[in-house]
Amino acid sequence: MNKFLGYLIVLAISLAAPLFIYPVFLMKLLCFALFASAFNLILGYGGLLSFGHAAFFGGAAYISGHALKVWGLPTELGILVGALSAGVLGLAIGTLAIRRQGIYFAMITLAMAQMAYFVFISSPFTGGENGLQGVPRGMALGMIDLTNDRSMYYFVLAICLAGFLLIARAVHSPFGQVLSAIRDNEDRARSLGYDIERYKLLAFVLSATLAGLAGATKTVVFQLASLTDAHWHMSGEVVLMTLLGGLGTIAGPAVGAGIIVTLQNYLASGPLAAWVPVVLGVIFVACVLSFRRGVVGELREFLRRSF
């Protein structure tokens, strides 16, 4: 009952938010919250550190941008095409990466994402350094004009909520439980008869698809897909968001994304603009050294100890 009330409050806040806060900023926040939550599925629940999620985020951004701008697909379909192509890319990279564990997994995903990055740079359809600009927002369901920021916000909110619900459902399903079991003790899960490679791969593909959904939605919001989306700095940022918010918690990645995006926005207009990577790096180091449970994880621990 308490949880239900919590969800209701979050829903009410997100419905009312564009009345008080600039909608484009909120949409950016939502997209990154979905991106980080998708990433958390593989790192927090699967225990696999992917350092290549920018490839899915950026890849879907390009594909859906191309689908909307050049093929002229309806907005929903364009986003879907982007997300699904990220899933296919995830299947390819995941199949290779799950052949190794631990740090090798991280290095392989990083290397494969870098390869995708080079492909994006040299493919003519991505617009190279300029990016893919002027992607039309179009109409939602053929009738709601998305050029209006506020309508666009509710469209994005609907997509991201669907994504969050899917993630929460996956985590609490038997599939999610097996995934956590594999994370905690791979050999034991294997001895219980689970085909752990298939579980890992499925989790990876699901995570990649949802990361792609976030990337594709972001393209529609900003009407732009660029190399920044696919660069390995982006892979690092999503790791940081998840870690800062709390690994393996449902709300953590969204909180982490909120903090980082707000911080970036705040710093970008101040004298510290050029220091953003340094600030992120310092937060990274501080998190790893003394804050490994993340904001939500620490909060949960604090509540458990005091009550």
Partner 1 sequence: MLTDLLGFPPQVLFGQLLLGLINGAFYAVLSLGLAVIFGLLNIVNFAHGALYMLGAFATLGLTQYLGIGYWGALIFAPLIVGAIGVGLERVLLRRLSGIDHLYGLLLTFGLALVIEGTFVKLFGASGIPYPTPEALQGGVNLGFMFLPFYRGWVVVASLAVCVATWYLFERTKIGAYLRAGTENPRLLQAFGVNVPLLTTLAYGYGVALAAFAGVLAAPITQVNPLMGSNLIIVVFAVVVIGGMGSIMGAVVTGLSMGVIEGLTKVFWPEASSTVIFVVMAIVLVLRPAGLFGKPA
Long-range contacts of 235-239 (CB under 8 A, 24+ apart): 235/50, 235/51, 235/52, 235/53, 235/54, 235/55, 235/110, 235/113, 236/51, 236/280, 236/284, 237/280, 238/32, 238/35, 238/36, 238/39, 238/53, 238/54, 238/57, 238/211, 239/39, 239/43, 239/49, 239/51
* Least distance CB 60 / partner 1 (angstroms): 20
How big is the site for partner 1, counted in residues (CB under 8 A)? 39
Which listed residue (236, 245, 246, 258) binds partner 1 by CB under 8 A? 236
The answer to whether residue 111 forms part of the interface with partner 1 (CB under 8 A) is yes
Could you tell me if 48 and 202 are in contact, meaning their C-beta atoms sit under 8 angstroms apart?
no
The answer to whether residue 102 forms part of the interface with partner 1 (CB under 8 A) is yes
Residue closer to partner 1 by CB (options 49, 299) is 49
Scan residues 120-179 and list those touching partner 1 (CB under 8 A): 122
CB atoms within 10 A of CB 279: 14
* Least distance CB 200 / partner 1 (angstroms): 14
Tell me the window of 161-169, 204-212, 257-265, 280-288 that interacts with partner 1 (CB under 8 A). Answer: 280-288
Angle at which helices 174-184 and 149-172 cross, to 10°: 70
The answer to whether residue 285 forms part of the interface with partner 1 (CB under 8 A) is yes
Tell me the window of 95-103, 189-197, 206-214, 294-302 that interacts with partner 1 (CB under 8 A). Answer: 95-103
Phi then psi for residue 35, to 5 deg, are: -55, -50
Which listed residue (11, 16, 119, 268) binds partner 1 by CB under 8 A? 119
Beta-bridged to residue 225, according to DSSP, are 132
Q: How many Cα atoms occupy the beta-carbon half-sphere of 221 within 13 Å?
A: 26
The answer to whether residue 12 forms part of the interface with partner 1 (CB under 8 A) is no
Could you tell me if 39 and 238 are in contact, meaning their C-beta atoms sit under 8 angstroms apart?
yes
Query: What does each C-alpha distance from 59 to 136, 219, 239 come to in angstroms?
Result: 18, 11, 18
Scan residues 287-306 and list those touching partner 1 (CB under 8 A): 287-289, 292
* Least distance CB 283 / partner 1 (angstroms): 8
Tell me the window of 15-23, 55-63, 143-151, 277-285 that interacts with partner 1 (CB under 8 A). Answer: 277-285
Residue closer to partner 1 by CB (options 221, 227) is 227
The answer to whether residue 268 forms part of the interface with partner 1 (CB under 8 A) is no
Pairwise CA distance, residues 243 & 111, whole Å: 21
Scan residues 26-85 and list those touching partner 1 (CB under 8 A): 49, 51
Interacting residues with partner 1 (CB under 8 A): 49, 51, 96, 99-104, 106-108, 110-112, 114-115, 118-119, 122, 232, 236, 239, 243, 274-278, 280-285, 287-289, 292
